[in-house]
Structure 1
Amino acid sequence: MNAEFERLVAHLRHLNRPVVSILRPGVDVARFAPSFGVSGLPPSVVEWFGWCNGVERYLGQLQDDVNVIPAYNPLSIDEAIDAIPSYRGDPVLGEYFLPLLTTAGGDIYAAIWDRSGSEASVAGVLVGESTEIEFSGIDKMMSVFNACFEGGAFFVGDDGRLVMDPEIYEEIYAQVISG
């Protein structure tokens, strides 16, 4: 999955996105497993936070400055753990989940898994909507996001913000998920 992370950063760098310079270095999150009541976190969750531990924050920062995909920014492990109580009780998320990406309005992409710590899938939580499993794994999510940059679904709009074309996104999502 490291290649997918590198591809994402390369897309952001090519688009001259401010987030590239403020991505925080990854951390070893395996030590957090006991706080989830599991013997180990899924390898992809460990790899995600090993790649990036959120973004540096500064006064006057805009949401778009921290986004790695339109509207969403990566959370640090501490921010992710702090966010858990806000989503606890969601039947799709279940007992074992960890937010990965968030919006300013509280929408998230969260890794979810079972007690065994087996590989995680990714749920999309939109405030006021039903939670859905969006991706079979973090690697699939990253493949979709990278394909969206490559296929024109994610781009910089006329106002300089990172935006999405929903129709192109749906086409790319269907192609990557079925492929």
Structure 2
Amino acid sequence: MSRVTNLLDDIAASLQNLERPVVRDLERPGLPAEDVAAQIGDAPQAVRDWYTWCNGTAHRTGQTVGDSYFIPGYFYPALDEALRIRGQGHRDLDTLGDWLPVLTSASTDMYAVVWRSDRTLGVVGVLEGAESEIEYLSVEEMLEVFSAALREGAFFVQGGTFEVDDDRMDEIYRRVTGREPLY
């Protein structure tokens, strides 16, 4: 198991503790490592681990958009969906290097891992109408922040809705990354 898959396991356990419906809808295990490698080539190991751990979120009758959130506002996409989004291109991401979304929203917002050769440049937060910036220096750093957010209540359920406490999230981001939040 890698650091990425261990952190994803931690997040899944926290989601289970919150009784988030997405836990039963995650397509686990993900794709075989050979299939992922064949589809995304020289992507960093962290990106390959992402899609071998899980290959998206299943859609079921009666499921709401919020039921599918892996973190508040974002879904865990299947590799074919991530490749479809990548195929459409993105003005900011395309200039940075190769990229692939690892979390997507119901709009065009996403978290995308960007790399050159097999060196990760970071995870870019893409928000519709805003400048895209590297928000996390690695997939592991992003997952450490999200795992802490779940453990410490920055991600929480209120009235059945998966929410985020922005102030608490900023504190966790500062503590885990040692940097100021971008937004």
Same fold (TM over 0.5): yes
Over residues 114-166 of structure 1, what are the superposed CA-to-partner deviations in whole Å (9 max), with x where a residue is unaligned? 1x222352000000000010101000000000100112110001x21110010
The unaligned stretches of length 5 or more in structure 1 are: 35-39
Equivalent position of 2:112 in the other structure? 110
- Counterpart residue identity of residue 98, structure 2: Y
Equivalent position of 2:69 in the other structure? 67
Equivalent position of 1:151 in the other structure? 152
Match of 1:89 among 91, 94, 99: 91
Question: What's the % identity of the aligned pairs?
Answer: 35
Equivalent position of 2:170 in the other structure? 170
Match of 1:18 among 2, 18, 21: 21
Give the TM-score normalised by the residue count of structure 1: 0.90
Match of 1:6 among 4, 9, 17: 9
**Alpha-carbon distance change, 155 to 131 in structure 1, aligned in 2, over 3 angstroms:** same
Cα RMSD for the two superposed structures: 1.6
Give, in whole Å, the separation in 2 of the partners of 1:120 and 1:76.
22
Over residues 15-68 of structure 1, what are the superposed CA-to-partner deviations in whole Å (9 max), with x where a residue is unaligned? 00100001002113111135xxxxx21000000111111010124421111111
Give, in whole Å, the separation in 2 of the partners of 1:63 and 1:120.
31
- Counterpart residue identity of residue 142, structure 1: L
**Alpha-carbon distance change, 74 to 93 in structure 1, aligned in 2, over 3 angstroms:** farther
Give, in whole Å, the separation in 1 of the partners of 2:44 and 2:105.
24
Give, in whole Å, the separation in 2 of the partners of 1:102 and 1:120.
19
The unaligned stretches of length 5 or more in structure 2 are: none
**Alpha-carbon distance change, 139 to 91 in structure 1, aligned in 2, over 3 angstroms:** closer
Give, in whole Å, the separation in 1 of the partners of 2:90 and 2:82.
12
- Counterparts of 1:101-140 in structure 2, within 5 Å, are 101-114=103-116, 116-140=117-141
Equivalent position SS for 1:162: strand
Give, in whole Å, the separation in 1 of the partners of 2:80 and 2:172.
32
Contact between 2:93 and 2:99, CA under 8 Å: does it hold in 1? Answer: no
- Counterpart residue identity of residue 4, structure 1: L
Give, in whole Å, the separation in 2 of the partners of 1:70 and 1:92.
26
TM-fit CA distance, 1:87:
4.0
Equivalent position SS for 1:124: strand
Give, in whole Å, the separation in 2 of the partners of 1:120 and 1:47.
17
